[in-house]
Amino acid sequence: MRLRLVPQETNWDFFARYKLWLGISGLMMVVAFLSFILQGLNYGIDFRGGTTLRTDSTQPVVISEYRAAIEPLQLGDITITEVFDPTFGEDKNVAMIRIQAQDGEEAVASEVVASVLQSLQVVAPDITFSSVESVGPKVSGELIQTAAIAVVLAIGAVLIYIWLRFEWQFAVGAVVALVHDVLLTIGIFSELQIRFDLAIIAALLTIVGYSLNDTVVVFDRVRENLRKYKQKPLKEIMNISINETLSRTMMTSVTTLLALTALFVLGGDVIRGFVFAMIWGVIVGTYSSVFVASTILLWLGVKRDWSKPDGNLGNQFANVDA
């Protein structure tokens, strides 16, 4: 007996309360935007500037012990990661410690570096700093600008791709859904004041790709059914299309969430922000593919005189049985 997340055949009306879903999405986007404007983001070292310390010791790196030793110094945002390299010998253990800039200074003062070294020597007496590097506020500001441009260009590329592959109505629906996902992800980080660094930018770009994948699967089936059911109204065709791809959508989302949940619980503090962004992005991306992108397409309408003869193009995997 096979496990099914949804029944084999469904006939749910996803547009019976489309105004409610759009209203909820619109309200959440407004709250996210206002939170970003009024409260801002809790930028990490990548965007605020700071100092990176590379440690070297013969004793194994225990991140929790390193963090416990440094916390009494109250240095603010600190990131600790162990460095793995196959060329390292058994007695070479390296870690990277990133400390945010203090009181607007471009770099951590030498006295603070000495205090960190003294604190860590309680855990690893032979520990040394093989390098000390600083990132100033100017470089951090450029990173913020570059990250914003990367997200905007990704969404713009999606707009062009969907426009060329489908029709402009499909493109508008897909882009609105992507903006919805990105804005809500930024909003949740602003509301909860979770550290926002370059890893979160990578998560945003991944969310764009994931959400687009779900949306294209639904849109491909809509286009196929538009050719198949020439007399049925658009709303009915879109309901049929979403129901036909629902099993695939749910299986993809749930299996992805299972892996991400394991990483969130067991992955440690270093990747927790990235994984949280991905979990949130998968949830809102799945929601937006069904209730936002499709509703926008229904609202805009679409022409029915398709000239392309191949109605199955791009649908090889849209009917995967879950």
Q: What is the pLDDT of residue 184?
A: 93
Q: What is the pLDDT of residue 320?
A: 46
Q: What is the pLDDT of residue 217?
A: 86
Q: What is the pLDDT of residue 305?
A: 56
Q: What is the pLDDT of residue 74?
A: 83
Q: What is the pLDDT of residue 8?
A: 64
Q: What is the pLDDT of residue 33?
A: 92
Q: What is the pLDDT of residue 210?
A: 84
Note whether 18-42+139-300 and 50-135 share their fold.
no
Domain 50-135 annotated CATH 3.30.70.380? yes
Kindly report the number of other CB atoms within 10 A of residue 200's CB atom. 25
In the chain the first and final C-alpha atoms are separated, in Å, by 12
> For each successive 10 residues of the chain (322 residues), what is the average pLDDT?
61 81 90 91 76 86 88 82 77 84 65 86 88 68 78 83 81 88 92 85 86 85 84 86 85 89 81 90 90 87 59 47 44
312: which residues sit within 8 A by CB, 6+ positions away? 224
Q: Which two tokens stand for residue 286?
A: 């799945």
Domain 18-42+139-300 annotated CATH 1.20.1640.10? yes
List the chain domain ranges. Answer: 18-42+139-300, 50-135
